[in-house]
C-alpha cells in the first residue's frame, strides 16, 4: 500500500497554502485513491459523508426561498441530503424531485404520515410564518427533528408550545438563523469577542426593502394571520438577531420603539410598515435598529462601535455578498471579505444534522427564536404606548 502523506495537499499546511477549494479537490482525489487501495475512508472529517450515511431531510413548502436557496444549499453540504418534499402543488414537487433526485412526496393533508417514513430524519419548515408553529409541532410529534425558518412563529406562546413539543418528543428544534453560519459574520463575531474594537459602546442594524403587495411572497407578509407581524418580523429580525449574536454574554434589559409606517399607505392595514427601536443592554450600552417595508433599494447594514475601533458590514446579512469595513484609530480603514457567504446554507444544514444525530445543542435553538419574538412583542407594546419604556 502506498503512503500519500508526503504528497502535495496531504498536510494541513499544504491545504492552507492551496486554498480551501483546491485542498478539497485534492482531498477528494486522495479519498478515491485510498478507496481504490481498500483503505477505510470513514471517520475522515475532511471528506463529505457517503450519501447513504447522511442525515435525511424533508423540505416543507416549496416557495421562493426553499427553491432558490435551501435546495441549492444541499449541493455542497457534507452531512445532509434531501429525501422528501411536502407541498400543496404536486406537479411542482415532482419536477423539483426529478431535478434533485427526491422521490418521496407528501401534501399538507397527509403530512402526519411522515411519522411512518424512516427515510426522513429532519424536517425544514419553509412555510409562511403563520403556519410555522402548527407544522413544526406536527413534525416533532411525528418523531422528526425540526429546523424552522425565521421568525420562529407568530407569537411567543406559539414558540413556547414548539419548544415544549420538542422536549416532549425528545427531538432537536432549531430556528434557521443562517447568519450564525455565514463566514463574514462569524469572523466579525470572533473579532469583537477577541477585543479587536475594544469595549462595545453602540450597535446598530438597519434592514429593509420595498414590499410589493401584488407579488404572492410579499402579499402574505402583509397579512397578520400569515405574516405574524410586519417588517420587524420579516426583515428587521435579521438586524435584531445579528446584533445580539455579536454580544454573546450580554442581555437586553429594556426596549423602546416607535412605528414608522407611512401615513395612509394602503399596504399596511394589518401589519407595521416600519419600526425603529432601541434596546438597553445589561452592560450599559444601547442596541438600536430599524426595519422597513418601504425602503428602496434593499438595505442590510450592521454597525459595531467600540472604545478602540468600529466595524461596519454593508451588506451584512445577504445570501452571497457580505462585506466588512474595519476601522481603528490611527490605522487606515480596511475593507475585506473573510469568506464566501454562500457557504452559510450548507453549514447551517450540516450544523443541524450534527445536532440531530448527536443530541448536542444546535447553534440557533428554539429558545433563541423565542427570545427574539418576546423582544419584538415588547417593541410592539412600546410602540403601541407611544414609545414607552418596556422592562424585560
Ligand atoms: P413563498 O411565498 O415564496 O413560499 C412559501 C411556500 O409555502 C409556498 O410556495 C407554498 O409552497 C407554501 N404555502 C403553504 N401554504 C401557504 C399559504 N397559505 N400561503 C402561501 N404559501 C403557502 O415565501 P418565502 O419562500 O419567501 O418564505 C418562506 C419562509 O422562509 C418564511 O418563513 C420566510 O420568513 C422564510 N425566509 C427566510 C429567508 C432567510 O434568509 N432565512 C429568506 C426568505 C424567506 P407549496 O406550493 O410547495 O405548498
For the beta carbon of residue 212, count every other beta carbon within 10 angstroms.
Answer: 14
* Ligand 1 atom closest to Cα of residue 150: 34
Q: What is the pLDDT of residue 12?
A: 36
Blockwise average pLDDT, block size 10, the chain, 392 residues: 35 39 47 50 75 97 98 98 98 98 98 98 98 99 98 98 98 98 98 97 98 98 98 98 96 98 98 98 97 98 98 98 96 97 98 96 97 98 98 97
CA distance 136 to 123: 8
382 lines ligand 1 (CB under 6 A): no
Q: What is the pLDDT of residue 4?
A: 36
Q: Which of 67, 97, 100, 126 to mutate to test the pocket of ligand 1 (most atoms within 8 A of CB)?
A: 126
CA distance 313 to 184: 9
197 near 241, Cβ under 8 Å?
A: no
Closest CA to ligand 1's atom 20: 128
113 lines ligand 1 (CB under 6 A): no
Q: Which of 128, 231, 235, 315 to mutate to test the pocket of ligand 1 (most atoms within 8 A of CB)?
A: 128
- Report CA(78)–ligand 1 centroid distance (Å): 25
Q: Which of 58, 59, 61 to mutate to test the pocket of ligand 1 (most atoms within 8 A of CB)?
A: 61
220 lines ligand 1 (CB under 6 A): yes
Please enumerate, as own/partner, the contacts of 186-191 that have beta carbons within 8 Å and a separation of 24 or more.
Answer: 186/339, 187/324, 187/338, 187/339, 188/246, 188/304, 188/311, 188/313, 188/324, 188/338, 189/245, 189/246, 189/248, 191/311, 191/326
pTM: 0.91
156 lines ligand 1 (CB under 6 A): no
Any alpha helices (H) in 37-152, and if so which ranges? Answer: 64-65, 71-73, 90-100, 132-141
User: What amino acid positions are annotated as catalytic residues?
Assistant: 150, 238
CA distances from 90 to 103, 105, 326, 337 (A): 12, 8, 49, 41
87 lines ligand 1 (CB under 6 A): yes
* Ligand 1 atom closest to Cα of residue 216: 2
299 lines ligand 1 (CB under 6 A): no
Q: What is the pLDDT of residue 13?
A: 37
Q: Name residues whose C-beta falls within 8 Å of residue 39's C-beta, 6 or more positions apart in sequence.
A: 1
CA distance 217 to 229: 15
Of 369, 135, 128, 125, the C-alpha closest to 226 is: 128
Q: Is 114 exposed, middle or buried (0-12, 13-18, 19+ CB in 10 A)?
A: buried
Q: What is the pLDDT of residue 41?
A: 54
Q: In angstroms, how far apart are the furthest CA atoms of the chain?
A: 77
* Ligand 1 atom closest to Cα of residue 131: 15
Of 383, 379, 387, 389, the C-alpha closest to 156 is: 379
Helix (H, G, I), strand (E, B) or coil at 208: strand
Residue 275, preceding peptide bond in cis (omega within 30° of 0):
no
171 near 144, Cβ under 8 Å?
A: yes
Looking at the DSSP bridge assignments, the partners of residue 275 are 259, 291
Closest CA to ligand 1's atom 30: 126
CA distance 21 to 371: 37
89 near 100, Cβ under 8 Å?
A: no
- Pairing status of strand 334-336 against strand 324-328: antiparallel
The DSSP letter of residue 112 is G
* Ligand 1 atom closest to Cα of residue 178: 41
Please enumerate, as own/partner, the contacts of 30-39 that have beta carbons within 8 Å and a separation of 24 or more.
Answer: 30/4, 33/4, 34/4, 37/1, 37/2, 38/1, 39/1
182 lines ligand 1 (CB under 6 A): no
Amino acid at each position: 500500500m502506498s503512503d500519500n502523506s508526503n504528497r502535495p495537499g496531504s498536510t494541513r499546511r499544504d491545504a492552507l497554502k492551496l486554498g480551501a477549494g483546491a485542498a478539497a479537490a485534492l482531498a477528494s482525489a486522495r479519498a478515491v485513491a485510498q478507496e481504490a487501495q481498500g483503505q477505510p475512508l470513514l471517520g475522515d472529517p475532511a471528506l463529505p459523508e457517503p450519501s447513504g450515511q447522511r442525515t435525511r431531510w424533508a423540505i416543507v413548502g416549496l416557495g421562493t426561498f426553499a427553491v432558490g436557496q435551501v435546495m441549492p444549499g444541499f449541493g455542497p453540504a457534507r452531512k445532509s441530503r434531501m429525501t422528501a418534499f411536502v407541498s400543496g402543488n404536486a406537479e411542482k414537487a415532482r419536477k423539483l424531485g426529478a431535478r434533485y433526485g427526491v422521490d418521496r412526496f407528501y401534501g399538507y393533508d397527509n403530512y402526519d404520515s411522515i411519522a411512518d417514513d424512516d427515510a426522513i430524519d429532519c424536517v425544514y419548515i419553509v412555510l409562511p410564518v403563520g403556519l410555522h408553529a402548527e407544522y413544526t409541532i406536527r413534525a416533532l410529534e411525528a418523531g422528526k427533528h425540526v429546523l424552522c425558518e425565521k421568525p420562529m412563529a407568530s407569537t411567543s406562546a406559539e414558540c413556547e408550545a414548539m419548544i415544549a413539543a420538542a422536549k416532549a418528543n425528545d427531538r432537536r428544534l432549531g430556528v434557521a438563523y443562517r447568519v450564525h453560519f455565514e463566514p463574514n459574520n462569524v469572523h466579525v463575531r470572533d473579532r469583537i469577542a477577541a477585543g479587536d474594537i475594544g469595549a462595545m459602546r453602540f450597535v446598530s442594524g438597519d434592514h429593509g426593502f420595498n414590499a410589493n403587495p401584488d407579488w404572492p411572497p410579499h402579499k402574505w407578509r402583509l397579512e397578520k394571520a400569515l405574516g405574524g407581524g410586519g417588517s420587524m418580523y420579516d426583515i428587521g429580525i435579521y438586524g435584531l438577531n445579528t446584533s445580539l449574536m455579536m454580544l454573546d454574554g450580554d442581555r437586553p434589559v429594556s426596549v423602546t420603539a416607535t412605528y414608522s409606517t407611512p401615513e395612509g399607505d394602503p399596504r399596511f392595514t394589518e401589519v407595521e410598515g416600519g419600526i425603529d427601536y432601541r434596546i438597553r443592554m445589561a452592560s450599559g450600552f444601547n442596541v438600536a435598529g430599524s426595519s422597513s417595508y418601504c425602503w428602496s433599494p434593499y438595505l442590510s447594514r450592521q454597525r459595531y462601535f467600540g472604545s478602540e475601533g468600529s466595524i461596519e458590514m454593508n451588506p451584512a446579512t445577504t445570501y452571497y455578498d457580505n462585506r466588512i469595513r474595519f476601522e481603528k484609530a490611527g490605522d487606515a480603514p480596511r475593507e475585506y471579505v473573510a469568506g464566501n457567504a454562500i457557504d452559510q446554507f450548507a453549514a447551517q444544514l450540516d450544523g443541524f444534522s450534527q445536532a440531530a444525530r448527536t443530541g448536542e445543542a444546535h447553534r440557533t435553538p428554539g429558545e433563541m427564536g423565542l427570545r427574539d419574538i418576546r423582544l419584538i412583542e415588547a417593541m410592539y407594546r412600546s410602540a403601541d404606548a407611544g414609545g414607552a419604556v418596556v422592562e424585560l
